[in-house]
Structure 1
Amino acid sequence: MVRTYSSSEIKIQIKDFNLLEVSSGKKKFLKDFFSDKATVIMFICNHCPYVKHINSELVRLSKDFIPKGISFLAINSNDANKYPEDSPENMKKVHSQLGYLFPYFFDETQEVAKYYCAKCTPEFFIFSGKGDLCYHGQLDDSRPGNEKPVTGCDVRNVLKKILKGKNINQTFKLSYGCNIKWKT
């Protein structure tokens, strides 16, 4: 595992892509899952210990905020040929085993990760209902072995502000985890 930091040079709008959604086994447009309140796009994968460390909080977050109209989308952009644990078949198993309430997409061409300039897993992007980037970065300060509790506080705080109708200045909080496994 190579510790990789997220980019701090992100200025993007939410964008639609057509990707394999693993629980259904069908290609679907991301825009069909966007919310008019806020959309959280998470770059995750199956094998990364940083993602495994926060998986329970991802489920809690989605349980807390999906009923309030915020959507969550998870995207795995890793090269599944080099990392078979991150294959669509295994993604489907993880989706079911962990009880993800959100769609889990496979970015086979890696075009989505390139568009969003995602560099690591986990890495979070929160967009307003208008499609403007509000937040980019980490879930919280917890990492495997650092003894800090997994709370999701950085993402939670932004989502709470959005729900209260507060203006959100674009916020960035450096994330780090495993590097996205790029195709060569």
Structure 2
Amino acid sequence: MLSFQKFGTTSTLTSRGPRTLLHDPAGKQAVRRSRVTARVLTQGKTDELQVGMQAPSFELPEPANGNKLVRLSDFKGLPTLIMFICNHCPFVLHLREAIVKVAAEYQAKGFKVVAISSNSVVTHPQDGPEKMAAEAKQHGFTFPYLFDESQDVAKAYTAACTPEFYVLTPDHLLAYHGRFDASRPKNTEPVTGQDLRAAMDAVLEGKPAPKGVPSIGCNIKWTPGQEPAYFGAQQI
């Protein structure tokens, strides 16, 4: 269950470009775990979630907590971090320990934190709710890890890859959409959370967040035939 409200012409818009990610399509190619570097084409879409817009509300189950429903409205009046992650993506695994650390640090400062997995269990059963619950418990998640089975929430947020980060103001306006930091599984950049920390600090201080650098990771595993209109991959 979700709703979407777009603010009028006063909204501040971001000039976010395409996100580069690993494309792991459904079907036989997914079984073979083949991946190609791909670009998500989202520019110019009128329904794209932009900085300054009201974040879509949602209601999703938390597998690690008996499928208790968690709503964005539960965090009314509080700054909120929303992360699209999954269990298997190497980009998420590379950052997982740091994500848990940063989440706990900013929860202590007043942030609410939620992680969402929107991957299709049709093509990727390892990202299903039972595995999610085990993941949350094994790695000490201090935040709800929610299952977006319909993938409607990912589509409302125009999310494209894992990991992908959204920072909301206390009024739940989008302040930041982008990456955790510059570290990747195969580069030498340290894992610091610098980009995300700067955005969350800005929200706590009541200041505009820095412009987000597009996140890089594995594409969200859409249920075959239900890919969103904004999703298109081209090999580069």
TM-score (ref. length: structure 2): 0.73
2:208 to 148, 156, 168: 168
Flag the 1:33–1:23 CA change in 2: closer, same or farther, 3 A: farther
What residue is the counterpart of 2:49 in the other structure? 10
* Percentage of identical aligned residues: 41
Q: CA–CA distance in 2 between the matches of 1:73 and 1:21?
A: 10
Corresponding position of 1:25: 66
| Structure 1 stretches lacking a partner, 5+ long | none
| Paired residue type of 1:183 | T
Return the alpha-carbon distance in structure 2 between the equivalents of residues 29 and 155 of structure 1.
Answer: 23
1:92 to 125, 129, 133: 133
Counterpart code for 2:178? G
Structure 2 unmatched ranges of 5 or more: 1-21, 24-36, 225-236
Residue 183 of structure 1: aligned partner: 223
Query: What is the aligned partner in structure 2 of residue 78 from structure 1?
Result: 119
User: Please, which of 80, 89, 95 is the counterpart of residue 48 of structure 1?
Assistant: 89
Superposed structure 1 runs of 4+ greater than 4 Å apart: 3-9
3-state DSSP of counterpart to 1:79: coil
Cα separation, 2, equivalents of 1:25 and 1:5: 37
Q: Which moved more, 1:31-40 or 1:115-124?
A: 31-40
Deviation readout 1:60-113 (Å, 9 max, x if unpaired) = 111211011101100000001211110100000000011010000000000000
| Equivalent residue runs for 1:20-169 within 5 Å | 20-34=61-75, 36-165=77-206, 167-168=207-208
User: Distance between the aligned counterparts of 2:90 and 2:39, measured in 1?
Assistant: 15
Q: CA deviation at 1:14?
A: 1.6
How many pairs were matched up? 183
Query: For residue 223 of structure 2, what is the amino acid of its counterpart?
Result: K
SS of the residue 1:142 aligns to: coil
After superposition, the Cα gap between the structure-2 partners of 1:5 and 1:22, relative to the gap in structure 1 and judged at 3 Å, is farther
Amino acid at match of 2:109: K
Q: Which amino acid aligns with 1:39?
A: T
Tell me the TM-score normalised to structure 1 length: 0.92
Q: Secondary structure at the match of 1:118?
A: coil
Out of 30-39 and 42-51, give the one that drifted further: 30-39
For 2:169 and 2:69, locate their aligned partners in 1 and report how far apart those are by CA, in whole Å: 21
Letter in 2 for 1:122: P
Higher helix content, 1 or 2? 1
Return the index of the structure with the highest Cα Rg. 2
- The residue identity in structure 2 corresponding to 1:174 is P
Relative contact order, CA 8 A, sep 6+: which one is greater?
1
Alpha-carbon distance in 2 for matches of 1:31, 1:119: 20
Question: Which one-letter code corresponds to 2:214 in the other structure?
Answer: L
Separation in 1 of the partners of 2:125 and 2:106? 32
Q: Confirm or deny: 8 A CA contact 1:121 1:178 kept in the other structure.
A: yes
